[in-house]
């Protein structure tokens, strides 16, 4: 049984032209997937459907063979965590308080945090490189620091204690979470995610525009273009010159031994 199944899914906003058209895919536990495609291809909309925030016009989204909308919200939140693009928090919580909010699906919103929870929050904040910000207000940190903070909160949400098992399997959705990080921080976060996938059976689907990192760290590429799946497979099979020309309208020189790509716009030079 697949962890996540999407069957013949289509979606449109206010009866306009379909944003997503006949999407079908299966995701197994322990996969590390990059969702790629041009701006406006439907990537974030697909995430909203996977999370149960939107209802498809046709088709269905199943989490372990159960329709996503049939999960009570707290149970769904214990199974799926989401880090949005450019997330901001306007109320001046401390960074530690913000991470500890990841425990809300597991306990009463007003329950006090015990020492074990505080230790776990510290562990994850250290892993994501934000523990030194623990007492700082979230209104005073940079966009890149906020993204790492929200990643720590999401990990606490699905792994609330060090011994959290991978079953029922956990799913982490990342919407351009690395976009505001410097290159060293991006690599560190991708290494952390890869370790959680390998050691804990975490399933990760991330929307990426940095295709070099997707090539290096993920095991599967799903590409959307004009609302349809344009490619689905391992990076070496998907990332070809023909793929980049057809989906991104760029020429690419590929160095398979290193996984790096060099782009050249297919339009006329300025």
**pLDDT tens across 2-58, in order?**
999 999 999 999 877 889 999 999 999 999 999 999 999 999 999 999 999 999 999
Helix/strand/coil (H, E, C) string of 201-247? Answer: CCEEEEECCCHHHHHHHCCEEEEEECCEEEEEECHHHHCCHHHHHHH
Q: How far apart are CA 267 and CA 251, in angstroms?
A: 10
Q: Does the residue 112 lie in any domain? A: yes
In sequence order, the β-bridge partners of residue 117 are none
Q: How far apart are CA 57 and CA 60, in angstroms?
A: 9
Task: Provide the token pair at 77.
Answer: 């939140």
Q: Does the residue 251 lie in any domain? A: no
- What average pLDDT does range 72-99 have in this prediction? 90
Q: How many domains does the chain contain in total?
A: 1
Instruction: For residue 32, give the CATH number of its domain.
Output: 3.40.50.300
The pLDDT tens digits of the residues spanning 126-156 come to: 999 999 999 999 999 998 899 999 999 999 9
Residue 260: the pLDDT is: 58
Q: Identify whether the C-beta of residue 196 lies closer than 8 Å to the C-beta of residue 190.
A: no
Highest mean pLDDT among 73-87, 152-166, 194-208, 217-231: 217-231
Query: Cα(first)–Cα(last) distance of the chain, in Å?
Result: 52
Minimal CA–CA distance to 4: which of 171, 155, 193, 227? 171
Q: Does the residue 260 lie in any domain? A: no
Q: Does the residue 76 lie in any domain? A: yes
- Mean pLDDT of the chain, nearest integer: 89
Q: How far apart are CA 46 and CA 53, in angstroms?
A: 10
- What average pLDDT does range 176-197 have in this prediction? 90
Domain span at 218: 4-239
Q: Does the residue 62 lie in any domain? A: yes
């Amino acid at each position: 049984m697949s962890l996540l199944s999407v069957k013949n899914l289509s979606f449109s906003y206010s009866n306009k032209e379909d944003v997503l058209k006949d999407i079908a895919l299966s995701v197994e536990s322990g996969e590390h997937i990059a969702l790629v495609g041009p701006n406006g291809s439907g990537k974030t909309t697909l995430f909203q459907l996977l999370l149960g925030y939107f209802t498809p016009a046709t088709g269905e989204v199943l989490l372990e063979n159960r329709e996503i909308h049939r999960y009570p919200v707290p149970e769904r939140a214990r199974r799926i965590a989401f880090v949005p693009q450019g997330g901001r928090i306007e109320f001046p919580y401390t960074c530690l308080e913000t991470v500890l909010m990841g425990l809300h699906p597991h306990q009463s919103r007003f329950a006090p945090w015990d020492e074990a929870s505080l230790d776990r929050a510290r562990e994850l904040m250290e892993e994501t490189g934000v523990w030194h910000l623990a007492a700082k207000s979230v209104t005073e940190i940079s966009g890149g620091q906020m993204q790492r903070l929200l990643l720590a909160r999401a990990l606490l949400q699905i792994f609330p204690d060090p011994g959290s098992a991978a079953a029922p399997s956990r799913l982490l959705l990342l919407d351009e979470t690395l976009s505001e990080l410097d290159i060293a921080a991006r690599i560190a976060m991708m290494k952390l995610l890869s370790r959680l996938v390998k050691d804990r059976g975490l399933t990760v689907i991330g929307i990426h525009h940095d295709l070099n990192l997707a090539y290096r760290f993920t095991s599967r590429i799903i590409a959307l273009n004009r609302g349809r799946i344009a490619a689905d497979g391992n990076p070496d099979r998907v990332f070809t010159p023909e793929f980049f020309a057809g989906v991104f309208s760029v020429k690419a020189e590929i160095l398979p031994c290193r996984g790096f790509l060099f782009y050249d716009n297919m339009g006329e030079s300025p």
